[in-house]
Chains A and B, each alone.
Chain A
């Protein structure tokens, strides 16, 4: 039994109001007497109005309270399910675009509210619910009765990456398939701000998409790319500012170098277009930040910071027996001061970044780590595998300027994604480029041998190494999950149609409303109240 319109229960407030009226005015009944002078100045009991005591529970009061309660319950539309038990999978889009504030407080919180409302319509005794978070990866957060899932739903948070909707639908289908005796249903709470999905095939249950939000008012700034001039006497920062809105906008932009403002200007952006800026920098500038000063729906992508080749050099320690190409690639990074030692070396100098080439020491060196083709036998590295590595985060800082098609031809040495890692690039065989935090260390891992396919001889390799060193040497306040720049386009797309092998049906179908019985009981109570009132006189 549940209430389809719980707001109707507000009418229960009438019951204490009735009691209050009886308290204030008592339950006095009017009695006509032939003459009042015979009753004057008699010794009498004090009345309720005089002593403000609780009114006696008269039949009339009880009937009135019962009528109010029955009416309130009828308004709330109680209903019971007559359908077979269901298994409903809630897929929560936890992508960065769900943090857009065009819906208060943001799309993700609004989606949680809608999901909670849906939970209340389910039968806690018979129905089963699974909660899947579609962030950068799809993960199952909880499964069980609606009440059991409610706490997990309240704790789920949106991430900064994209939405692995395809993986989430596959996971939801798996969950529904585990309970074939139940009617399955997949409900996706999302802003539908996804790129076009690859075909997902026939799913195990009908899919309903609950669309949240609808604005496209967002401007974003890309991570600045800073290049040293060939002369070595100047640097130039290249910045892209994009507009996801359907109309041109003018946004103020502030640039700071090493936390000192260097420029502020207003930029005109075409509708759903971009503008590129090039900013000359002094050679000693170490970092550059760009911030959009206007207000839009998604504040996450309004600022970006990047390291510049200039500034003081950073110590990078390369441990292993590296290939010449890896060494050259590291040495070509302008702000890197490379030092190479053998794996067996006892005295390891302190470094800003440590590159482990084909080794995994028992005790990890301090600071960020770049793992190149780590040994797969390391249990610490593998951890607990979750999800699939078939993923491309094209907007990730590690992938900037790279030909992804060439990279995806590599053969990964592992097939599952470790629990600590986010996949930046992978193929059907497994993850290729991952990043995350391993035992507290910021880590970027290349799970392939660059020399096998000849990648180390291509122009992409030093660029990949440069991206990785920049990413790992970036300021420490970089979020653990990098922002997926594709999420800046918060413009909702048309919801795709999904095929289902199961019959489609409304989630709210199968409810038998019980309010007519309550109305009948209410009429009986009102009749009894009328009789009681008439008999009282």
Chain B
């Protein structure tokens, strides 16, 4: 079943751009700072003139005051290589509202932000035991419908091992990317190893942890058979108040563990509830977390 992507609100994200800790290297034409020195309006420094320099870049006002020829250095603007990784495991298709539908909207919105800033956008959908679905690199707002079509029709199901999936999801060429992982992180083995692999490639990683309010406060009572959405395993449980209290405590502790794991690696971690309005997430939560500006 196709997901509904609320593209009508994307115009409010027109002026946003990603905040990256790595310089952009996806080619000129973007709006992110680069280490390249190239003619632009962004002044960064002076240096003494050397033969062969463009004579037009000599600052004659400085020559008038100091009597030496100084050349103005300007910073090049490059495109950012943004990789949006969407966890499409069965656990994402759970909750009210559906975490996957919510995450698909977030990915589409982030994709729009990147395309509006002329960044190179790739979308990677992690699936159960199969090669991830990869779209891109896309560039320009005209590619937005293509991106929306992918995330609205992405199939969900099965279980995704984040460690392995994160290690394998990116092509080996290129670096200095920004990877945004949108996931509920519900995998027993965690995601630390996968993050380490990405960080080793000098990739700037942002983790958007999507959770459902039902996960925080499950409404269970009496005798239940809990069925794992991904593996189908069954756990017979007599759900008492003490059981639910213990679960809430464990879930809160697990959330903190995820945040701590990201913090320990210098990875930006943003926790988002699936019942938050999309505009609030993009304009408030992600800006507040310095993911967007």
- Tell me the A residues contacting B by CB distance below 8 Å: 26-40, 42-49, 56
**Who on chain B is nearest to A26 by CB?**
B223
Given A29-B225, A39-B237, A47-B238, CB of A34 within 8 Å of CB of B186: yes
Across the interface, A45 reaches (CB within 8 A) one of B91, B188, B226, B240, namely B240
**Who on chain A is nearest to B230 by CB?**
A35
What secondary structure prevails in chain B residues at the interface with A? mixed
Residues of A close to B246: CB separation below 8 A:
42-43
A47–B235 CA distance with the chains assembled, in angstroms: 12
Does B223 lie within 8 Å of A31, measured CB to CB? no
B13 within 8 A of A: no
B218 within 8 A of A: yes
Does B184 lie within 8 Å of A34, measured CB to CB? yes
10 closest A-B pairs by beta carbon, nearest first, are A45-B238, A34-B91, A36-B228, A45-B240, A35-B186, A28-B223, A34-B94, A37-B188, A47-B238, A44-B243
Q: How far is the CB of B153 from chain A (nearest CB, A)?
A: 22
Across the interface, B225 reaches (CB within 8 A) one of A31, A37, A40, namely A31
A28–B233 CA distance with the chains assembled, in angstroms: 16
Does B229 lie within 8 Å of A31, measured CB to CB? no
Residues of B close to A28: CB separation below 8 A:
222-225, 236
Mark B246-269 against chain A: 1 for CB-CB distance below 8 A, else 0: 110011001000000000000000
Does B242 lie within 8 Å of A43, measured CB to CB? yes
Given A33-B218, A34-B92, 9 extra CB contacts under 8 A: A28-B224, A32-B229, A36-B228, A37-B188, A38-B186, A38-B250, A44-B240, A45-B239, A48-B223
A44–B235 CA distance with the chains assembled, in angstroms: 12
Q: How far is the CB of B213 from chain A (nearest CB, A)?
A: 12
Residues of B close to A30: CB separation below 8 A:
224-225, 227, 234
Residues of A close to B231: CB separation below 8 A:
36
A27–B223 CA distance with the chains assembled, in angstroms: 7
Does A36 lie within 8 Å of B243, measured CB to CB? no
A43–B250 CA distance with the chains assembled, in angstroms: 12
Residues of B close to A46: CB separation below 8 A:
238
Classify chain B: how many residues form its interface, as a range.
35 or more
- Tell me the B residues contacting A by CB distance below 8 Å: 91-92, 94-95, 99, 184, 186-188, 212, 215, 218, 220, 222-231, 233-240, 242-243, 246-247, 250-251, 254
Across the interface, B238 reaches (CB within 8 A) one of A29, A38, A44, namely A44
**Who on chain A is nearest to B93 by CB?**
A34
Residues of A close to B240: CB separation below 8 A:
43-45
Does B238 lie within 8 Å of A32, measured CB to CB? no
Residues of B close to A35: CB separation below 8 A:
91, 186-188, 228-230
**Who on chain A is nearest to B219 by CB?**
A31
**Who on chain A is nearest to B159 by CB?**
A35
**Who on chain B is nearest to A55 by CB?**
B223
Residues of B close to A56: CB separation below 8 A:
222
A38–B233 CA distance with the chains assembled, in angstroms: 13
A42–B215 CA distance with the chains assembled, in angstroms: 16
Residues of A close to B187: CB separation below 8 A:
35
A47–B223 CA distance with the chains assembled, in angstroms: 6
**Who on chain A is nearest to B228 by CB?**
A36
**Who on chain A is nearest to B243 by CB?**
A44
Across the interface, A47 reaches (CB within 8 A) one of B95, B215, B236, namely B236
16 A-B pairs in the complex with CB atoms less than 8 angstroms apart: A27-B223, A29-B223, A29-B225, A33-B226, A33-B228, A33-B229, A34-B95, A36-B226, A36-B227, A36-B233, A38-B254, A40-B235, A42-B247, A43-B246, A45-B239, A46-B238
**Who on chain A is nearest to B91 by CB?**
A34
Residues of B close to A29: CB separation below 8 A:
222-225
**Who on chain B is nearest to A25 by CB?**
B223
Residues of B close to A43: CB separation below 8 A:
240, 242-243, 246
Q: How far is the CB of B293 from chain A (nearest CB, A)?
A: 32
Across the interface, A32 reaches (CB within 8 A) one of B94, B215, B243, B254, namely B94
Does A38 lie within 8 Å of B247, measured CB to CB? yes
Most chain B CB atoms below 10 A, which of A36, A40, A47: A36
**Who on chain B is nearest to A33 by CB?**
B226
Does A38 lie within 8 Å of B223, measured CB to CB? no
A38–B246 CA distance with the chains assembled, in angstroms: 10
Q: How far is the CB of B185 from chain A (nearest CB, A)?
A: 10
Residues of B close to A33: CB separation below 8 A:
94, 218, 226-229
A165–B95 CA distance with the chains assembled, in angstroms: 83
Does B237 lie within 8 Å of A47, measured CB to CB? yes
A413–B92 CA distance with the chains assembled, in angstroms: 111
A31–B226 CA distance with the chains assembled, in angstroms: 5
Across the interface, A38 reaches (CB within 8 A) one of B220, B225, B239, B251, namely B251
Q: How far is the CB of A47 from chain B (nearest CB, A)?
A: 5
